[in-house]
Structure 1
């Protein structure tokens, strides 16, 4: 007897959640969607509240505090140096700066000089505006770092103002970099270039003229050791300095007198050091300011005595 044909059961999918399988309406919606590349995404804008007048004032005040920080440091260092407030713990300002602040005397001098330039710009370029009310546009922009004003430290106050205003202009009305300021300084120096007629071995007098790097050196004499385009390297009683031409005045000594002063300069420099007693330093400084090409008999004896005293140590 033949078996009746068997019926195979159809396999049906297991019941599933509506969230995993699309229904007919979902398929219809998908088929009608546009190309995802051309879909429009709607972003809800978040409203940022405007600053109040008090907040604007607070912001300007805090910005000025940040800008002035490095220059306030320079003013503080200048007062520490001038009043010798380091003398209870250190013999020299250089040792004090290294131990207390971790930087060299040269770095301190840069900060002090920068503070003087900053003060000049704020009291002259912007003399009609209060510091707290300055805004960042045109001539009201002020330096924010020592490096921006370092190229201007050897210029006269009026030249500093001119350089800064031109540098701001070249920077598109923004705070200029140190490189821009340096380029403007070079342009002005080229414009006012005068021939450097000084000669190596010539004796000159230092004219400080508000140059902070020459503070305490006004009236001192020195020996030209190198002639540059816009300055000379000069050996004084306590070290070697680079001095702009506007800060030098020749004594017009004869060659023999210049050689004699060279010998005296070498002798004074041989005795001098930062660790000397203040009375000895003062004496050497006085010898470094004599406005004649020789020492008197008493001055000669005093220098001989110092040479003998410190040669034995």
Structure 2
């Protein structure tokens, strides 16, 4: 029997804390445990501390997870809660994603005080976003617009927008919903036109491999449909060496015993893109994503990837 509180690692942003609290609440309900059976441990990550540059300039996605993963490996944390889209495709030796919570809305939200929709932005308008995928998609759909780097927490980006730092920004709709601010979105973007980042909207729980007690604890909150969909998306990303230097989009939908995947790669200027769609049995989710990644890479040709880094 566990005598000490389970230690849950998380970043300190309001969204990260909301995700850790949701994980704790689901575990309390699943196991009939009191709140004090869990301790939420907040760690600052390099990705949180450096907000004036794009992630591609300072080292990529691992900057949001490295400190948490170090304490997982040392045993100081029992498990850590992350936004799945922040996770590198290859995890440190000895760690694994053990569970995914039920996915929130995967779509992107357009937020602006100037226009209700991205299509209605005036020529020359400025869109603030640090995501190369979002930058590339904006340039693909609206090459007449300008883009600038906009980093920080959801609240920070909304404050920058209100202060006139840009005319519009793009945020994960899931994050706005988890923070109780869905009304901030002026448009919810169609994923067929503006596809999301792989794993967007899904909370994952990372733990040590071989820790049977923690695996059993987390199994009770794992959502099988989300697990399959995100597994497919991350397999696609892994084949393409996905990082914050590469504009890659992709999402999978589970329909009964089948899974349907759509993926896209773009050049950073948005002027060239390739799309792919595939489907198959849910049990083959990883292989479907992997094959889609290889197929789109072959279709694009090696020269497509040369200027991404």
Q: Is the structural similarity TM-score above 0.5?
A: no
TM-score, normalised on structure 1? 0.24
Question: Over alpha carbons, which structure has the higher Rg?
Answer: 1
> When you count strand as a share of all residues, which structure comes out higher?
2
TM-score, normalised on structure 2? 0.24
Q: RCO higher in 1 or 2 (8 Å CA, sep ≥ 6)? A: 2
